[in-house]
Amino acid sequence: MDEHIRELLPAFVLGALDADEVFLVEQHLRTSKEVRAEVAELRTVAGLLSYAPEQQQLPAHVKRQLFARIGATAELSFPQTVHTNYKSHTPPSFNYFASWGRGVFAMVVVALLVLMGTNVYAYSLLHSTNRQFAQLTADYQTVNDQLNATRVELQTVTDETEQLRQQMTTLVDIQRAQQQDFAFLASSATEGHLLTSEITGVEGKMYAQPGHNRVVLVLHGLQQLESGATYQFWFATADEGQIPSTTFNVEQHGIIELSIEAPEPIDVYQEVMVTVEADGGAQTPSNDVVLTASI
């Protein structure tokens, strides 16, 4: 293939030749397989330009290398040797610039291919990073779910511990009260007063110390009341009459022990009794008297 024809082929593929040069190249296309093969190859390369990525900012060192190669190509293209086998109708200066343009075209194609490769690598790296991020997100969610489950379990244990603490506090208070009652009942200063009832099987005893307000009641045989009713204890004096005190209920066994603080020392009162009242108690006793005792 003539070297001058070879130099015209890239511009021919891009449609950058004048009519005379196009005519010359087309003549060689009809007669030369080599020319046809090279044109086909150049058209394939030119076809790739439609798939080139959007313009991106090249790194500074890549720009310097490209401009250096373009400058070298331009310097080599200007001192062209005049071909003796073809008499061109184009001024020599145009051939110089056409050759320089073909060099620039080749460098642009190379740069585009480099950019395409860079974009492919960048896409692959981004895809890998996205996969890693998705995996990290899934791992984080798993750990977070486990942490939330642990928090729920810890809260459950905390609630159960608080319930146990409250139960222990209640038991300690009951034990302390029982110890105080036992000490009170065992004291030589404590006097017992029998409470009697007209109901068979119902009996009780009140323990008190002269000069003190504390009273301990031990009652047996009381019936479990229906909803809306309660037992109530009363103190009585000759001047003030019946003075309401605490209300209480009993379980099925009918036994109860109560510790009561009287408004005044026990010596002030002449009588005590237990009645059945509406739930919440009353200020005046009903006629439903269950137990009584004289002091």
pLDDT per residue over 212-242, tens digit each? 999 999 999 999 999 999 999 999 998 889 9
Question: Tell me, what's the pLDDT at 61?
Answer: 57
Q: Count other Cβ atoms within 10 Å, centred on residue 10.
A: 23
Let me know: does 283 contact 232? Beta carbons within 8 Å: no
Boundary (domain end) residue, out of 78, 105, 125: 125
8 and 87 in a common domain:
yes
Boundary (domain end) residue, out of 125, 143, 170: 125
Question: Tell me, what's the pLDDT at 13?
Answer: 81
Q: Domain count of the chain?
A: 2
114 and 26 in a common domain:
yes
The pLDDT tens digits of the residues spanning 67-102 come to: 665 566 555 544 544 444 444 444 444 555 555 666
Residue 206 DSSP class: E
**End-to-end Cα separation, the chain, in angstroms:** 143
**What dihedral angle (degrees, nearest 10) is formed by the CA atoms of 156, 162, 164, 170?**
-150
Question: Tell me, what's the pLDDT at 115?
Answer: 72
Q: Is residue 158 part of a domain?
A: no
Question: Tell me, what's the pLDDT at 18?
Answer: 85
pLDDT higher at 99 or 20: 20
Q: Is residue 256 part of a domain?
A: yes
Strands laid side by side in the 229-237 sheet: 241-248, 229-237, 271-278, 289-294
CATH code where residue 248 lies: 2.60.40.200
Split at pLDDT 50, 70, 90, the class of 260 is very high
The pLDDT tens digits of the residues spanning 142-171 come to: 998 999 999 999 999 999 999 989 988 888
Using the structure block, give the residue that is written with the tokens 């005046």: 284
The pLDDT tens digits of the residues spanning 100-137 come to: 666 667 777 777 777 777 777 777 778 788 888 888 88
10 and 94 in a common domain:
yes
Domain that holds residue 251: 191-294
Q: Is residue 71 part of a domain?
A: yes
Boundary (domain end) residue, out of 104, 125, 146: 125
CA–CA separation, 295 vs 285, rounded Å?
19
Compute the mean pLDDT over every residue in the chain, rounded to the nearest whole number. 81
Question: Tell me, what's the pLDDT at 203?
Answer: 94
Q: Is residue 111 part of a domain?
A: yes
Question: Tell me, what's the pLDDT at 219?
Answer: 94
